[in-house]
Amino acid sequence: MKKPEFSFQSLPSSAVSEKVLLICLKCAFDFFTRQLKLAPRTAYSELKKHVPEETDFSGSSTARPHFFDPEVTHCPYCNATKRWFARFRAVRVDAHPSFEKERRKLWTELKRKPDRFTLWHPDRTRMQIFSEWLERLHKTENIDDDHWLLDVALTFIRRTLPSHDLEKALAGNVNRVQLSRQIEDSWRYENGWLYVSPVVYGDALMVQHLLSRSHLHGGRTFEGRLTLQELMRRLRRMGYFEAKGIAAGDAMEEFELAIASIVDSGPSGVYYAVDRGEYLEKLKSIYEKKRDK
């Protein structure tokens, strides 16, 4: 019977990301049988336990026999053909208290398939999670293109207010993020405009400033290019600090407290589910062919 598929659709899509890592099984078998001089059956038993590290999926230490390019037709290390390739699928969840119940329920289901799924919970502080997220944004956004301001604001709002309702609302075109003091909740979508509260709008300005600021000229935001002092004055006038309960003596302290508040409102942890289903099937197929020769 076909293995049941596991869906992550119970979680907000903004909190879920996926990375596919390939492995060349010829390289893997050759390592055990030629270099370590193990019998094919022993090599197969060892490879059944194999799970790539988080650093393999991130690319920071990916090495033979792993690689990323799904379009290649031959192994970049040993030139083996595609029939030797297998895939690992790592699903990352940036967990948030608003959907922790759903995540726990899904993880309980995944734990029932320990051979297929390997679950990780890397030790991260909220500040580390936020800093890594900012770094990823900085690498992917082109701040020379004016459209990045809207992209970053929407990405941040999805991250800090993860929900299916928000994803559904933003499924259409969003042409503008607009400050509104009249909305009862944090946001309201209407005719291509996303109206947000002073807290959400101010947080978005802070993130935009962090991504684009320079030593001399400040950072670019929806409100224009602002120095830190100008940004703090703008946020005070819109009632941002009052709404957050921040009362500080100077701009730098206000800035630091606001960043701490943004960090605390974001994801509380990182969880990985590594799907080894395809890898195990391909590994078994390759081993049986080698055994029958």
**How does the average pLDDT of the chain come out, rounded?**
92
Taken in order 262, 158, 140, 69, the sign of the CA dihedral is: positive
196 and 260 part of one domain: yes
131 and 248 part of one domain: yes
Taking the C-alpha atoms of residue 15 and residue 232, their distance in angstroms, rounded to an integer, is 30
> To 5 degrees, how large is the angle CA 202–CA 205–CA 207?
115
Q: What is the pLDDT of residue 184?
A: 86
97 and 164 part of one domain: no
Q: What is the pLDDT of residue 216?
A: 56
Per the domain annotation, does 270 fall within a domain? no
Taking the C-alpha atoms of residue 209 and residue 211, their distance in angstroms, rounded to an integer, is 5
Over range 31-37, report the average pLDDT.
94
95 and 147 part of one domain: no
257 and 282 part of one domain: no
In this prediction, residue 77 has a pLDDT band, given cuts at 50, 70 and 90, of very high
Q: What is the pLDDT of residue 20?
A: 95
Taking the C-alpha atoms of residue 209 and residue 134, their distance in angstroms, rounded to an integer, is 11
Per the domain annotation, does 248 fall within a domain? yes
155 and 177 part of one domain: yes
pLDDT at 133 over 80: yes
In this prediction, residue 194 has a pLDDT band, given cuts at 50, 70 and 90, of very high
For the chain, the domain total comes to 2
Q: What is the pLDDT of residue 2?
A: 44
Q: What is the pLDDT of residue 1?
A: 40
182 and 204 part of one domain: yes
38 and 84 part of one domain: yes
Q: Residue 84's CB: how many other CB atoms inside 10 A? A: 19
Q: Residue 32's CB: how many other CB atoms inside 10 A? A: 18
Per the domain annotation, does 162 fall within a domain? yes
112 and 174 part of one domain: no
Give burial (CB, 10 Å; 0-12/13-18/19+) of 39: exposed
159 and 93 part of one domain: no
Total H helices, total E strands in the chain: 12, 10
In this prediction, residue 142 has a pLDDT band, given cuts at 50, 70 and 90, of confident
In this prediction, residue 215 has a pLDDT band, given cuts at 50, 70 and 90, of low
Per the domain annotation, does 8 fall within a domain? no
Per the domain annotation, does 135 fall within a domain? yes
102 and 36 part of one domain: yes
Which residues are CB-neighbours of 180 under 8 A, at least 6 positions away? 188, 195, 196, 197
87 and 148 part of one domain: no
Per the domain annotation, does 71 fall within a domain? yes
Over range 47-72, report the average pLDDT.
92
Domain that holds residue 209: 126-265
